[in-house]
Chain A
Amino acid sequence: MTYEELLTEIALSDERFIVMTAENRALVRNIPGKLGNRFIDTGITEQTMIGAAAGLALRGRIPVVHALASFLSMRAFEFIRTDAGIPGLPVKLSSFIPGFLSDGNGPTHQALEDISLMRGIPNMTVFAPADEDDLVKMLPQIWTHSNPSYVRINTRKTNYIHAPFEWGKAEVVSTGDDVTILTYGLMFEQALIAVEMLKNEGLSVGLVSLRSLKPVDERAILEVTRNSKLTVTLEDHFLSGGLYSIVAEVLLKHGLTANILPFALNERWFKPALLPNVLEYEGFTGKQIAEKILGYKTFYKQPGMAVPQFAE
């Protein structure tokens, strides 16, 4: 099932749902014809769209709102915080092309602080599915929960079949004594590749996909940092405010420390290019991640990667 099929099914079965977009139709191409006046396109007006979503929510509606990640999380930030956050209205944000997924657009379109911004809003919940299968498994609970939500939309396909989603729980793919990779969203794809290579090198390797950044699965993080000699945080986000910060906050809260290797963008935006080239240039392919953890080069071949079929 695709994102659009799921949204169509849920919206058709529940009159409360309104599908909104600030002229970003890539995810909802066929929905106008199916939902009629419960589809609202406000044009390129992210702030007005969020205010209107709050007004609709005030009337008992559940607006599912679409825009590019950087414009949704940043241009409309104060509207999200003030109009959805303060009253705790169930405005459901679907954030398109977050992180590396904005590939060739450039820094204006790079949402690398969205997790940081969104988790700072009281009442807001924040999610990052690993792929389309994960996305479709997570969304029904997210959309029917009473709080506002922010979801890093990721419709890429991997071969991994995810476990059912549990609210506030991470997905523990594997456990390992030597190294465990904590990740979320798009980077899951590369983490799977890195884990295979590390296992082939004889290491005991774990992999955890956070899924929910807020509420965050503190127990999963504490188990990893306690049981694994090295914990890797892997994210297409700025180093500040994302998973690395979350792990630091959780450890500090429990008076603990751990051996952490972060993969994130430190005080810089990434080089704009097509996605596979971005990952290679920035050192975020599975092979590069594995080699940095190992501290030496290997002869493994980095598998090819599908280029996204959309642009902004």
Chain B
Amino acid sequence: MQNVIANTTDLEAIALKVREHIIKMSTDGGCFVGASLSAADLIVYLYSEFLNINKNNLDDPDRDYLFLSKGHDVPALYGTFVEMGLLEADRLKNHLSVSDNIYWHPNTKIPGIEFHSGSLGHLPSVAIGVAMDLKIKGGTNKVVCIMGDGELNEGTCWEAVLVANAYKLDNLIFVIDRNQFQANMATEDLIPLEPLHDKFTAFGAAVKRINGHDFDALHEAFSAYPFQDERLNVVIADTVRGKGLLSIERRADRWFCNFNATEVDDLLKELHGEHLTQLTSETLVVR
């Protein structure tokens, strides 16, 4: 059973903590809670099992790279950083404070953030540059770039796939957080992406499509890296926006949330399997 992960229970426990951090950040100005919850398991898996990145090797040129291109899901990344010991838990309370650098999109003032993001479709190309240099210098580092499915509207994502294919970047992995939504619409109702697997395959990538909330499935997919010699690796992770909170899961109007204190308390209970939260805070008009 080579592809079955040893400590699925541990990862689930970490992911639960990360979700708690995300929920706690969704007040006093709010955050993009739905997209953060969809990406949480992916990010936890990648840092815990796949990537050689930890608090002691951030300056090591031989470490791996993770680029968070969708950007607005950064609460999931900061939550993971807390659980890895990269960031003090108390600092998450500084969200949106002028005394710190924790806001709606990632920035490199936070150790562990490889590159700032927030403007979609940028980091696939930045990741290509890093992967190209590793090819030139002969490094074995892995380069992961997490993109949103809505982000795939931007043409630069597809330019990046074309270029990665041309330069045979098999050290590069594009991970798509396929949560079926962009801002406050379903992707298939606006700019349909399917058949997504076929699109990437036609562009020359080696593609795996898996359940992005199943740690065994994630492990099986990433254990097969590099998927094919001289081909860009693509993982389409099917996820659920708002995963873990039934009261906001798959809800188009709960993209950016600014909950009140009572709602946060109730959502934390809901996360641990208690009853659904009665949400009274205004549905914010976003995008």
A and B are interacting partners: yes
Binding site for B on A (CB under 8 A): 23-26, 29, 41-45, 47-48, 70-71, 75, 104-109, 271-274, 277-278, 280-281, 307, 309-312
| Nearest neighbor of B71 in chain A, beta-carbon distance | A108
**Complexed CA–CA distance, A278 and B96 (Å):** 10
Binding site for A on B (CB under 8 A): 29-30, 71-72, 96-98, 101, 103-105, 107, 116-121, 150-151, 153-155, 182-185, 190-191, 256, 258, 282, 284-287
Q: What are 21 sample pairs from A and B whose C-beta atoms fall under 8 A apart?
A: A23-B150, A43-B182, A43-B190, A44-B150, A44-B191, A47-B155, A106-B107, A106-B116, A106-B118, A107-B107, A107-B116, A108-B117, A109-B118, A272-B101, A273-B96, A277-B97, A278-B98, A309-B285, A311-B286, A312-B256, A312-B286
Task: Determine the main DSSP class of A at the interface with B.
Answer: loop
**Complexed CA–CA distance, A45 and B71 (Å):** 17
Residues of A with C-beta under 8 A to B98: 271, 273, 277-278, 280-281
Residues of B with C-beta under 8 A to A273: 96-98, 103
Residues of B with C-beta under 8 A to A274: 29, 96
A310 touches B284 (CB 8 A): yes
**Complexed CA–CA distance, A108 and B121 (Å):** 12
Residues of A with C-beta under 8 A to B71: 108
Contacts A43-B153, A109-B105, A311-B284 given: A104-B29 contact, CB under 8 Å?
yes
Residues of A with C-beta under 8 A to B120: 44
B245 shortest CB reach to chain A, Å: 19
A-B contacts besides A23-B150, A42-B191, A277-B98, 20 pairs, CB < 8 Å = A23-B183, A26-B285, A26-B287, A29-B285, A44-B121, A44-B150, A44-B151, A44-B191, A47-B155, A104-B96, A106-B104, A106-B116, A108-B117, A109-B105, A273-B96, A277-B96, A309-B282, A310-B284, A311-B30, A311-B284
B272 shortest CB reach to chain A, Å: 28
